[in-house]
Amino acid sequence: MAPDMGMTDRTVETVRGLVYGPGGKQLDVHRPAGASGALPTVLLWHGIGPDERDVLEPLARTTAALGVLVLVPDWRSDAADGGRSQLLESLAFGRKEADGLGGDGASYVLAGWSAGAGAALGVALRPDAVAEWRPRAVVAVAGRYDLPARTTGTAPLDDLAAGHDPGVPVHLLHGTRDTVVDAHYSRDLAATLRTAGRAVTLQEPQTDHAGVIMTAYDPAADRCVPTTAEHAVRAGRLVGGVLAAAGA
């Protein structure tokens, strides 16, 4: 499918539907309109819902408006390998193509929400999964870290206990009203990283699992949809600011 250019405001340009891997999966590119020069780059992975890159568009565009190139790929948690190959293919695409899309491969932040959060942290903890590469930083939003990461097959907390080091700053964000993934998962990870002397930040906006990415869960659609609720807008701006600062 040919890329579809869409703009909902004058500050951010979105290119939709770029194919990133041999399986034909697609990603969207969000960048400041009219930007010149190499921009800090964020690869942002959605959660466990299959092919939900659109769910992250409000957050991605908010982040892009701060001067960042944001790549948001589809991936399928129900794939035979749990989505591992698609996640790693999107990472390989982003590393290879970021410069040509206006980004900066040297300022590459790996980020994820919900199941995508553990997947992002797993790459930093186990760089052997990607030919010994690490991002500039990891931003993990509303995740669990006691479960196997979709990228590595091992739980980040288990990797830390085994002596693996993320090697880069880890920025955690988690809504205090999250009833899907309790905030204690991020608190536990932050405490473990601090005990090990690793660079970590934790921020807890007053919102829920969907609100932290500027959305609300719609039971009829069975997916998260954009919202203008104050708590979600405030939280999304916070997350976007962390994403932008992590690549600066």
pLDDT per residue as tens digits for the range 83-109 = 999 999 999 999 999 999 999 888 899
Average pLDDT over residues 183-211: 97
Per-residue pLDDT at 248: 83
Contacts of 62 (CB under 8 A, 6+ apart): 214, 236, 237, 240
* pLDDT of 2 over the 50 cut: no
Interatomic CA distance for residues 229 and 29, integer angstroms: 25
Enumerate domains of the chain plus CATH numbers: 4-247 (3.40.50.1820)
Of 104, 235, 216, 132, the C-alpha closest to 175 is: 235
pLDDT at position 149: 98
For residue 60, count CB atoms less than 10 angstroms from its CB and return exposed for 0-12, middle for 13-18, buried for 19 or more. Answer: buried
Q: How confident is the model at residue 9 (pLDDT cuts 50, 70, 90)?
A: low
pLDDT digits (tens, 9 = 90+) for 23-69: 899 999 999 998 888 999 999 999 999 999 999 999 999 999 999 99
For 213-246, the pLDDT digits (tens) are 999 999 999 999 999 999 999 999 999 999 999 9
Please spell the DSSP secondary structure of 103-137, one letter per residue. EEEEEEEEEEETHHHHHHHHHHH-GGGGTT---SE
Nearest to 118 by CA among 88, 141, 134: 141
**pLDDT digit string (tens) for 102-147?**
998 888 999 999 999 999 999 999 999 899 999 999 999 999 999 9
Question: Mean of the pLDDT values across residues 19-23?
Answer: 92
Could you give the CA distance from residue 105 to residue 109 in angstroms, rounded to a whole number? 9
Are the C-beta atoms of residues 12 and 30 closer than 8 Å to each other? yes
Show Cβ contacts of residue 220 under 8 Å, excluding neighbours closer than 6 positions: none
Structure tokens at 194: 């601090």
* Strands of 137-141's sheet in order across: 4-6, 12-19, 26-32, 69-73, 39-45, 103-113, 137-141, 170-173, 200-203
The answer to whether 64 touches 243, Cβ cutoff 8 Å, is no
* Residue % of the chain over a pLDDT of 70: 96
Q: List, in sequence order, every residue forming a beta bridge with 29; answer none if it has no partner.
A: 15, 71
pLDDT tens string 139-178: 999 999 999 999 999 999 999 999 999 999 999 999 999 9
pLDDT at 4: 35
What's the rounded Cα separation, in Å, for the pair 52 and 50? 6
pLDDT value, residue 23: 87
Q: What is the pTM of this model?
A: 0.94
What six digits make up the tokens of 103? 């980004």
Q: Which pLDDT belongs to residue 107?
A: 84
pLDDT given at position 7: 36
Q: What is the DSSP letter of 157?
A: H
Residue 247: alpha-carbon gap to chain centroid: 13
